[in-house]
Amino acid sequence: MVTDETWVDTSPGGLLHLLRTGRAATRADLVRLTGLSRGAVTARVGALAAAGLLLEGADLASTGGRPAAALRLDPDAGVVLAVAVGRSRSQVGVFDLAGREVAGDTRDHEPGTGARDLMPDVAARLGSLLDGLVAPSAPRARVLGVGLSLPGSVDPATATATDAPVMRGWDGVALAPYLSPVTDAPVHLDNDTSVLVRSELFGRVPVARDMLVLKASTGLALGIVADGRLVGEGRGTTGELGHTRVEEAGDLLCRCGATGCLETVAGGWALVARLQEAGRSDVRHVRDLAALALAGDPEARQLLREAGRHLGETLAVAVNLLHPEAVVVGGDMATAFDLLTAGIRESLHARAHPAAARALRFVPATHGEAAGLHGCAALAIDRALDPRAVDALLRE
């Protein structure tokens, strides 16, 4: 992966990376940025075009691109598959290489459904989505990779969950074999908050170079973006905000086994439990809670606002330490964005240093409820179009 902005990879894959990230748009740009001769650039561009990865000037003119000299990744050179698995819902989708969803579907499942029961269904759904894209006799689109996400910690190297307390029956289960009936493309696994962050960084100018990305859902987690990059990217874990000890939680027992965690007073699972204890058997998931709050249910509104206040107290520490420009809020609680952030702002501004909090902006996740799915697609595209992966594809 090209990580240093001053170092330039001069392989064909490196050139495609320059075009894809907007640093180059023409052969002349590529000559200037790489120091390669015009002939060398032409040969590499030719190889990329022959592999169907590049669109050149003439092809672009009709779509309003710059004439003659312009070069661009062909977003239809292949597709990636995205799978975002949550505690009680799975989303699957097919995306083009520009990160646009071509087809997708969402289904609920019983909380606690294990990998062995869910993954064959996921594979079947992906298969039908792919079949639906083409005429019956035509070949399927070229699948370049699969991006998959799970709540909890995962091991990206082996594509297995390592510590998913809300996902019984997933830890240690190899997931890639379940997808082999659909594709033999590489399967990349990351955790749900990491892919949420990716969805904010992929193919667009992010809301801010320094920001916090809060996933407020069944659990509570935090991704830290510093200078446009996710801190700890590729480790398969994100900030365990929800398991920070807070005074208000007293000795309440958390799902992690400890007591006094923030999640016990502000996590979706705890809020749902509170409503159920109060006799609200219609509330089964934090999505139900958010929907009730939006519909004006006073109990649900109160719970979400209070959860926001608890969250804001802990977030204030992160804001003091990191001075982010923005907090992006995603996850199922973010459906009731205004309510939740009203609570967060209240306590955060009371606790954080004014210099750190004054200009802080709160914004909802760009892709809303589909943010995780978009992030899974971004993961697969970034891996598939990594310069080394592209060079390997060209050698085949």
Which spans of this chain sit near Zn ion (rule: CB under 5 A)? 243, 254, 256, 258, 261
* Smallest distance, Zn ion to C-beta of residue 78, A: 41
Strands 89-96 and 79-85: antiparallel
Q: Which is nearer to Zn ion, 270 or 370 (CB)?
A: 270
Q: Which is nearer to Zn ion, 68 or 253 (CB)?
A: 253
Q: Which is nearer to Zn ion, 256 or 342 (CB)?
A: 256
* Smallest distance, Zn ion to C-beta of residue 182, A: 36
* Smallest distance, Zn ion to C-beta of residue 165, A: 9
Alpha-carbon distance of 67 to 361, in angstroms, equals 40
DSSP symbols for 176-210: HHHHTTT--S-EEEEEHHHHHHHHHHTTS--S-SS
**84 neighbors 91 (Cβ within 8 angstroms):** yes
What Rg value do the Cα atoms of the chain yield, rounded? 23
Q: Which is nearer to Zn ion, 240 or 382 (CB)?
A: 240
Strands 79-85 and 101-108: unpaired
Q: Which is nearer to Zn ion, 64 or 257 (CB)?
A: 257
How many Cβ atoms sit within 10 Å of the Cβ of residue 84?
A: 27
Q: Which is nearer to Zn ion, 265 or 373 (CB)?
A: 265
